[in-house]
Amino acid sequence: MSNGAFPLITDLPVAIVGAGPVGLTTALALSYYEIPFIVLEANADHSTETKAGTTLTRTLEIWQRFGAAGAVLRRAMRVDEIGDIERATNRSRNTIKLHLLGDETRFPFVANIPQYDMEPALRDCLYGSRQGKLLYRHRLTSFTQYSDKVKLEVETPDGARTFAACYLLGCDGGRSTVRDRLGVSVEGRSMPERYALVDLNVDLDIENPRDYPHLAYFSDAKEWMILVRQPKCWRFLYPVFEGQKEFTIDELREKAVHFIGDVQNVEVLGTNLFNIHHRVASKWRVGRVLLLGDAAHLITPMWALGLNTGILDANNLAWRVAWVLRGWANDTLFDCYEREQKPVAEQGSGEMAEAARAYMARRAADVKAMSSHAWGNAYTRSLLGVRLGLDQTGDWSMAKPYAEPPPVVVGDRAPDGLVHDSNGHQVRLHDLFGHSFVALYFTDVRRRPDIPENKFPWLTHYAVSRWDATRDSPIRERALLDSGNLITQRYGCAANTMVLVRPDDHIAAIEPMTPSLAETAYRAALSIPRREAVPA
């Protein structure tokens, strides 16, 4: 059954538990793939708590694909520079210059938006979806797995209800009921210190003009600080060390005022004191149940890696759900979700956030994720540099410590960039990805290379060439003009190379072009660790 373009192997929807940012993004992604879903949210509305404040470039790209970037950005502050400042001297250290990513992404900036504004923006984007619905005051209490479905027991204001779903995606946060009912343990540690933040309503633009970066990390051995300009306030965040008394509201206000100097009209809008953790679930999949976001990993909120890592989970999992439910892959396709994303959360974002904590507290002079190269730092901190371990070699990474873009390798996020289609229209590569695997053939179309026709919805082929294909060329419709050879140079492949890109933008294969190569590489990409049936 399906109300979309492709028949599905089941009549049951996918159940998403939790309508936080990860649950909402997962629902948007399933909507994009025309997969029926229900979202069950325990609360009556979205949280008004002061939580995540910064959304990184990679998250914006993912929301762009799933139709939500505009709605979020309309409410956000865009920031093209992340300050790295020595608090004692006000000396700038490794400022992150995001404009250096201008050729790499349509979003060469990050976005400051409080989670209580972001979640309604994501929710509003879901309202147009024909694929599913969001049910508030529906708290999952337990579930039972069967060979073909999961039965969910849910508490509602009208009493207990039962739902049946083909898969259950646990996006229910750090205290996940789904994880708990699976009996999955969480490994890692909670930190002895806590963080305190204060949101201030103060005019630092006109009444008391200041030139602070809109996102800045002030390192200091005694007391570091993070400054975030939110759309409607200025946020200051400090550590509260082990054994230290928690700050009163007046103390938090005074600390901020001490930093910004004598100013008029300062109002405290809110404060928050929170514990911090570095903990990861030991298993992310048990049968028909999978974990995403904070349910799978809790990362200290340094360098904005918590929510943003959860959005990477949603991006990695959604196309797998679509492929399995369309009958294009066996459900062992889910096994690689944990294998690829867990290292990113555990030793990737988690370790990076820990290194950032040491760097901020001046316990480490430098960290791997912060090289002497401005381009590499921008690429890393925007999360564009995440390379997934697709080929089972354990070769994955979060950091790209390079002065200039290196050639792409398997597992990398395929760089974005502009090409022209056969109608002369400018096209972004990322707009060609998403719905299918895409084979890009870096070649010379004058020589009429053998590029397969686009016969199947799961695999699309394009030639990329700085030469135009003649009007009678059989591949003219599939030829993308790479003016100036810029995309070819960025990908860094030898002539006549095929790069196979997955629907989540990650590169599945790079091989010298040969007939039927893409089909073979596609089948291989679906069949790690075992070969699975793909419709002929």
5, 7, 43, 144: residue in contact with ligand FAD (rule CB under 6 A): 43
Q: How many residues does the chain have?
A: 536
Rounded to a whole number, what is the largest CA-CA distance in the chain?
77
Residue 155: helix, strand or coil by DSSP? strand
Stretch that binds ligand FAD, among 35-43, 62-70, 80-88, 258-266 (CB under 6 A): 35-43
Stretch that binds ligand FAD, among 45-53, 64-72, 279-287, 363-371 (CB under 6 A): 45-53
Q: Tokens 């943003």 appear where?
A: 308
Q: Determine the residue with CB nearest ligand FAD.
A: 20
293, 389, 411, 434: residue in contact with ligand FAD (rule CB under 6 A): 293
What is the C-alpha separation between 461 and 294, in angstroms, rounded?
A: 37
Residue closest to 238 by CA, chosen among 267, 258, 214:
258
The answer to the question of residue 30 lying near ligand FAD (CB under 6 A) is no
31, 64, 308, 443: residue in contact with ligand FAD (rule CB under 6 A): 308
13, 21, 239, 385: residue in contact with ligand FAD (rule CB under 6 A): 21
14, 52, 69, 200: residue in contact with ligand FAD (rule CB under 6 A): 52
C-beta separation of 26 from 317 below 8 A: yes
- CA 105 to chain CA centroid, nearest Å: 14
177, 380, 397, 488: residue in contact with ligand FAD (rule CB under 6 A): 177
* CA 504 vs CA 67, 134, 139: distances in Å: 15, 24, 30
Residue closest to 385 by CA, chosen among 431, 336, 348:
348
What is the C-alpha separation between 397 and 411, in angstroms, rounded?
A: 9
What is the C-alpha separation between 319 and 332, in angstroms, rounded?
A: 13
Would you say 18 or 503 has its CB closer to ligand FAD? 18
- Shortest Å distance, C-beta 177 to ligand FAD: 4
Would you say 62 or 140 has its CB closer to ligand FAD? 140
30, 51, 342, 385: residue in contact with ligand FAD (rule CB under 6 A): 51
15, 165, 307, 499: residue in contact with ligand FAD (rule CB under 6 A): 307
Q: Tokens 């056969």 appear where?
A: 422
- Shortest Å distance, C-beta 249 to ligand FAD: 16
The answer to the question of residue 114 lying near ligand FAD (CB under 6 A) is no
81, 84, 294, 346: residue in contact with ligand FAD (rule CB under 6 A): 294
The answer to the question of residue 22 lying near ligand FAD (CB under 6 A) is yes
Residue 247: helix, strand or coil by DSSP? coil
173, 385, 411, 434: residue in contact with ligand FAD (rule CB under 6 A): 173
What is the C-alpha separation between 406 and 509, in angstroms, rounded?
A: 17
272, 330, 473, 527: residue in contact with ligand FAD (rule CB under 6 A): 272
- Shortest Å distance, C-beta 152 to ligand FAD: 9
What is the C-alpha separation between 120 and 48, in angstroms, rounded?
A: 10
What is the C-alpha separation between 536 and 523, in angstroms, rounded?
A: 10
- Shortest Å distance, C-beta 272 to ligand FAD: 5
The answer to the question of residue 28 lying near ligand FAD (CB under 6 A) is no
42, 126, 481, 526: residue in contact with ligand FAD (rule CB under 6 A): 42
* Phi, psi dihedrals of residue 152, rounded to the nearest 5°: -110, 135
- Shortest Å distance, C-beta 302 to ligand FAD: 9
- Shortest Å distance, C-beta 341 to ligand FAD: 13
Stretch that binds ligand FAD, among 65-73, 306-314, 336-344, 372-380 (CB under 6 A): 306-314
Neighbours of 80 (CB within 10 A): 18
User: Between β-strands 110-112 and 54-55, what pairing exists: parallel, antiparallel or unpaired?
Assistant: antiparallel
Provide the 8-state DSSP code for 351.
H
DSSP string, 430-453: HHHSSSSEEEEEES-GGG------
Stretch that binds ligand FAD, among 46-54, 241-249, 386-394, 509-517 (CB under 6 A): 46-54
DSSP string, 314-334: HHHHHHHHHHHHTTSS-GGGG
Binding residues for ligand FAD, rule CB under 6 A, total 36
Would you say 52 or 329 has its CB closer to ligand FAD? 52
Residue 140: helix, strand or coil by DSSP? strand
13, 18, 108, 376: residue in contact with ligand FAD (rule CB under 6 A): 18
Would you say 312 or 329 has its CB closer to ligand FAD? 312
What is the C-alpha separation between 239 and 259, in angstroms, rounded?
A: 15
What is the C-alpha separation between 145 and 166, in angstroms, rounded?
A: 10
- Compose the 58-97 pattern: x for residues touching ligand FAD by CB under 6 A, - for all others: ----------------------------------------
Residues with Cβ within 8 Å of 492's Cβ and at least 6 positions away in sequence, in order, are: 405, 406, 407, 408
Which spans of this chain sit near ligand FAD (rule: CB under 6 A)?
Answer: 17-23, 40-43, 47, 50-54, 115, 139-140, 171-173, 177, 197, 272, 274, 293-294, 301, 304-308, 310
